[in-house]
């Protein structure tokens, strides 16, 4: 996720105070990446209580449960995955 994307999501979260952002990515299974992601948002004034971070989920039910929490799905910028995976609906959500 680019710095520009983090800044954009932080602006949206500040503009919608009751919202939370779900980030779902296999990379977030790594504790270092998870902590770095929390720190990146914290640097923009977004606390961990506003973020729902999900790493790799083995079961389909886990994926569906995560998507069930989503009110709105946006992808405001290109994915950093190479090549982008089109079979999934993405991993940036506002709920």
Confidence at residue 77, expressed as pLDDT on a 0 to 100 scale: 56
3-state secondary structure 23-40: EECHHHHCHHHHHHHHHH
Domains in the chain, number: 1
Confidence at residue 36, expressed as pLDDT on a 0 to 100 scale: 95
| pLDDT tens-digit readout, 61-84 | 776 777 777 666 665 555 555 544
Q: Is the pLDDT of residue 90 over 70?
A: no
pTM value?
0.70
How long a stretch of residues is the chain? 95
Confidence at residue 34, expressed as pLDDT on a 0 to 100 scale: 93
Confidence at residue 75, expressed as pLDDT on a 0 to 100 scale: 59
- CA 61 from chain centre, in angstroms, equals 19
| pLDDT tens-digit readout, 17-66 | 898 998 888 888 899 999 999 999 999 999 999 998 888 777 777 767 77
Please, which pLDDT band fits residue 95 given cuts at 50, 70 and 90? very low
Strand-by-strand arrangement of the 72-73 sheet = 51-54, 21-24, 92-94, 72-73
Task: Look up the domain containing 16 and give its range.
Answer: 3-94
């Amino acid at each position: 996720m680019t710095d520009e994307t983090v800044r954009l999501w932080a602006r949206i979260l500040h503009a919608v105070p009751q919202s939370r952002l779900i980030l779902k990515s296999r990379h977030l299974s790594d504790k270092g990446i998870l902590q770095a992601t929390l720190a990146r948002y914290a640097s923009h004034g977004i606390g961990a209580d506003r973020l729902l971070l999900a790493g790799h989920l083995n079961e389909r039910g886990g994926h569906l449960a995560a998507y069930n929490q989503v009110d709105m799905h946006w992808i405001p910028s290109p994915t950093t995955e190479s090549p982008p995976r089109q079979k999934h609906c993405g991993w940036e959500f506002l709920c």
